[in-house]
Amino acid sequence: MPLIPFARRTLALGAIAGAGLTSYAAWEARQYTLRRVTVPLLPPGHAPLKVLHLSDIHMAPDQRTKQEWLRGLADLEPDLVINTGDNLAHARSVPAVTDALGGLLDVPGVYVLGSNDYYSPGMRNPLLYLLPDTGKRNTRVPQLPWPDLKERFSAAGWVDLTNGFGSLTVGGTSIAFAGVDDPHLGYDDLDRVAGPADRAADLRLGVTHAPYLRVLDQFAGDGYDAIIAGHTHGGQICLPTFDGRGRALTTNCDLDPARARGLHRHPADSAPGEPGSSWLHVSAGLGTNPYVRIRVACRPEATLLTLI
């Protein structure tokens, strides 16, 4: 075959394949999925607790399908909601987020914020996250109305864990919480939440937006039974695998890609009951950058954690 026609045909086939993959990735980014995970955390004799973990909603006002899907999660009747940040993607998103949460705001809840609660997202190719992190953060962009979001959440009774502690009694189980502001922006103040977890509580949970190792190490070392986090988008652009879970290539932090989403241990090689170790649940989140709404082998998710 002559070289020029062959090259043209190759380019054409590549363009078709690229367009097909992009279309699939845009479709997958809208395939909202509820995952169910059981975690052995409660002391003997305690009734199971249903904990809904929400993260990285990245809501824009026009995302009606996402809003309807979120609204339906209230039908799960969770006992507790944990929101690990990045709720916003637009200056007018606060009403869309709170309306979509609907009845979930009547459920006991705790929350922390992420970088995309504070700052407007910009156009960014998700493949750039495969490159080494320079540590530079673009904060020279308009701020989002995060004070309004916090006001809505706090008015509903959700506990603000921004570099602080909190406590709730849910279904007869007393829970002690510690949380930090977004580590990706360097807003976490670990000194403010340092020290042994409250042993008088039945359960101790650490909450963070981004699962940086410095945060995980402190919470696990201080005796928190589990750490709840988001931020990673599960890798967002993953390699397909036979089990359908996908293999993450990046986490956008210093957490290893093998733990980009789902239930794991921290440290990774530790065992339940081992001093200085904890369960770790990382959500792949529900959204993406609103300008590049694609996912590959990593569907958007919320997780219903059943604590037993």
Question: What are the sequence ranges of the domains in the chain?
Answer: 31-307
Name the pTM for this structure: 0.92
> Is the pLDDT higher at 131 or at 31?
31
Answer CATH for 31-307 from 1.10.10, 1.10.3470, 1.10.3230, 3.60.21: 3.60.21
Residue 279: other Cβ atoms inside 10 A: 22
Which of residues 14 and 204 earns the better pLDDT score?
204
Cα(5)–Cα(295) distance, integer angstroms? 34
Q: Read off the pLDDT of residues 284-306 as tens digits, 9 standing for 90 and up.
A: 999 999 998 999 999 999 999 99
Report the alpha-carbon distance of residue 79 to residue 209 in Å, rounded: 21
